[in-house]
Amino acid sequence: MQTQKSPSRPALPRMRTTILWRSMRQFALLATFSVLLFSGAVAIALRPLPASFVSLFLSLGVLVFLLGIALAYFLARGLTHPLIGLSNRVARLGPDQWSFRRSVHSGDEVEVLDRAVGDMAARLEQGYRYLESEVKKRTKELSAQYAKDHAILTSICHGVLVVDISGRVVDANPAALEIMSSRSDRVLGRKVKDVLILSHHQVVMPANEHPVLRCLRQRMVNRPHPGMQLSVVHSNGRNIPIVMVVSPLFDGRHLLGAIAVFRDVTEERQVDYMKSEFISLASHQLRTPLSTISWYLELLETDDREKLSSTQRSYVEQMTTASQRMTHLIDALLHASRLEGQSIRAVPQHVNIAALIRDAADGIRPLAKERKISLEAKIPSQAVTLSTDPTLVLVVLQNLLSNAVKYSSAGGTVTVGLMRGAANLSIIVRDAGAGIPKREQHWVFTRLFRGSNVRKIDTTGSGLGLFISRMIIDQLGGKIHFKSREGEGTEFIVQLPLHIRKKRDGVTTSASPKV
């Protein structure tokens, strides 16, 4: 290990080049001036002089000049020697040498300076020792905290991935590397979109929709909705189901990066699949006896109605209503099961979305009239043609409109509109009804969810309408979201892409709307 060199001290100016030679120059100039003055005075007083006397005076002048220079040198040296020694000893002060021995006892200002430097050296040594002990103490605490954090990070079963502000991986714990089936040298320093490849419903997620990059872009927590089925895609094609939450890392208001926490949910996903299979099987098995019950109830209502008393007829009507509700519930369960198993696939065709929305609104008007709800359709008069599956879109519209009507108060208004954006068409269904409690909003698109406030308004709902709608919109390549405040109403927005790209039998199709 190489020893780190201490930073070099700034070089002090040599005192000899300043005070010493400046003093010598001053004394030499004074001596020269004196000799010239003396020689001139003698020459004026003794004119004319023999040549021998002139030589004698010149020799004396030279001698006096040399004596002046010598005197100037010794005087300057006596003045600067203590300062030079003091500066040399000060230059040697440092972390390895704080001792300063006083050596000037001249009784003048230099001794005062020597004493002040000694006191300063003692205080510097005391401060340095204190700072050194504090640094060691803090380093020890940080080392212990790092060891503790590292032990926690490596022992948890959740994968943890840390990225910087540019989206490059800076740290990953063993659980994350195991889920990604990779090594740290293949992960650290690389873009997260290249090492953590995600898919949703077996379709690889585009880079701009990657949860980590979206978190960095939006600077907020990214928590996929419960129905979103994320999976890590390995290089061998294997998919590992995960659930993931991504949070931004801030230093005050400065964004440092993001941290992604995810875990393997293969077993949970398998259990969920088994539950869906059971529901599908149970629904199929229930359809036959339920059809029989419905058939006999219909016979009682038509052929034998006159033979029944009024009480018996009311019982038959209640049983018929219950049978219809059960049939609708079983149909919804079968639709959900088929959508989850991808046995129902979108069949794109050119359809006038504006006309489709009007048809859906007209189909709900009888229910709206019965509940005294005003239904307004704000649709452009011109045709808006898009390549999509009209049957699936109609199912979504019926679910949204029926919910808006059922959960609005009498005298309220439900509006449905159509807007065109830069990349999508937006269908907006707005009501002023019960709204969705804020604490329950993240469960809206999950299976069998019904808000606690609407269960008192309508007890017949199945909680599958929005679940089915979300899966349909996902399959169509669109998005569905909402805005809601309890007691003030809800607004659902369905976004269908202007350019649909969907693989069917290995062929990618693309279509744009015509207005």
The domains located in the chain, with CATH, are: 15-123 (no CATH), 156-264 (3.30.450.20), 270-340 (1.10.287), 349-511 (3.30.565.10)
The angle at the Cα of 217, spanning 214 to 218, to the nearest 5 degrees, equals 85
Distance of CA 168 to the CA centre of its chain: 12
User: Mean pLDDT of all residues in the chain?
Assistant: 78
Is the backbone of residue 389 left (phi > 0), alpha (psi -120 to 50) or beta? beta
Q: Provide the whole-model pTM.
A: 0.50
User: Reduced to 3 states, what is the DSSP secondary structure of residue 439?
Assistant: helix
Specify whether the CB–CB gap between 438 and 365 falls below 8 A: no
From the list 390, 378, 347, 353, the residue with the least C-alpha distance to 513 is 353
Pairing assessment for the beta strands 239-251 and 254-264 based on DSSP bridges: antiparallel
Quote the pLDDT of residue 169.
93
**Spatial distance between the Cα atoms of 349 and 353, rounded to a whole number of angstroms:** 11
User: Reduced to 3 states, what is the DSSP secondary structure of residue 482?
Assistant: strand
Lowest mean pLDDT among 199-208, 241-250, 326-335, 467-476: 326-335
Q: How confident is the model at residue 259 (pLDDT cuts 50, 70, 90)?
A: very high
The pLDDT of residue 198 is above 50: yes
> Which token pair is 36?
């010239």
Q: Per-residue pLDDT tens for 357-403?
A: 988 888 888 888 888 889 988 888 787 888 888 888 888 898 899 88
Distance, first Cα to last Cα, the chain: 74
Q: Per-residue pLDDT tens for 407-461?
A: 888 888 999 999 887 778 899 999 988 888 888 888 888 777 788 777 777 666 6
How large is the average pLDDT for residues 458-471? 77
Burial code (b: 16+ CB inside 10 Å, e: under 16) for 329-345 equals bbebbbbbbbbbeeebe
Quote the pLDDT of residue 91.
77
Quote the pLDDT of residue 306.
75
Q: Per-residue pLDDT tens for 146-186?
A: 888 878 877 888 899 999 999 999 999 888 988 888 888 88
Rounded to 5 degrees, what are φ and ψ at 167? 90, 15
Percentage of the chain beyond pLDDT 70 is: 77
Lowest mean pLDDT among 200-214, 303-317, 326-340: 326-340
Lowest mean pLDDT among 4-8, 134-138, 449-453, 470-474: 4-8
The letter for the amino acid at 472 is: I
**At a CB cut-off of 8 Å and minimum separation 6, what does 250 contact?**
256
Distance of CA 32 to the CA centre of its chain: 82
Specify whether the CB–CB gap between 515 and 384 falls below 8 A: yes
Quote the pLDDT of residue 161.
92
The pLDDT of residue 464 is above 60: yes
Question: What letter would DSSP give residue 423?
Answer: S
The pLDDT of residue 278 is above 80: no
